[in-house]
């Protein structure tokens, strides 16, 4: 027969799924500071919602901008084109300028979440 005190100590030594879940959450959040999602913390960012998808837009300098997010969630070329159009639209909406060049950085080209763009403000939108 196991004494009640011994049973309680044995239960405390076994890791629970909740402990593993908490550790996994902490580990996954620890990487956020270095990822593009960190841009959502920047006071300079603008969040645009297009097609019910959030896109974070940041100005890098006078005519260079970045857009992050808005992923369609598909692998087809039409999904990627919709993603690209949303990001361009978001940059143009925030900057008020026409996007002339838009590229995905080489280390981001698979996911198409981070776009870098150059805008031409002499070609203002809506005018």
- Give me the CATH code for the 35-120 domain, please: 3.30.1360
Most distant CA pair in the chain, distance = 86
In the chain, domain spans: 35-120
pLDDT at 43: 77
pLDDT at 5: 58
pTM for the complete prediction?
0.65
> What ranges make up the beta strands (E) of 2-103?
46-50, 53-59, 64-69, 98-103
CA 59-116-96 angle, 5° bins = 50
Dist. CA 83–CA 69, nearest whole Å: 9
Residue 38 near residue 23, CB atoms below 8 Å? no
Dist. CA 51–CA 72, nearest whole Å: 9
Q: pLDDT digit of tens for each residue in the chain (127 aa)?
A: 555 555 555 555 555 665 555 545 444 444 444 444 445 567 788 999 998 889 999 999 989 999 998 876 666 777 888 889 999 999 999 999 999 999 988 886 667 788 999 999 986 666 5
pLDDT at 48: 92
Strand order in the sheet with 53-59: 46-50, 53-59, 64-69, 114-120, 98-103
pLDDT at 21: 58
């Amino acid at each position: 027969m196991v004494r009640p005190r011994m049973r309680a100590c044995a239960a405390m030594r076994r890791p629970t799924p909740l402990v593993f879940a908490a550790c996994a959450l902490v580990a996954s959040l620890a990487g956020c500071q270095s990822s593009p999602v960190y841009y959502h913390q920047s006071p300079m960012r603008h969040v645009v919602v297009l097609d019910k998808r959030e896109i974070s837009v940041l100005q890098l300098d006078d005519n260079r901008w970045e857009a992050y997010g808005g992923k369609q969630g598909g692998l087809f070329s039409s999904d990627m084109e919709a993603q690209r159009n949303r990001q361009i639209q978001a940059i143009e909406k925030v900057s008020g300028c026409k996007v002339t060049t838009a590229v995905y950085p080489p280390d981001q080209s698979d996911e198409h979440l981070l776009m870098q763009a150059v805008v031409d403000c002499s070609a203002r939108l809506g005018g």
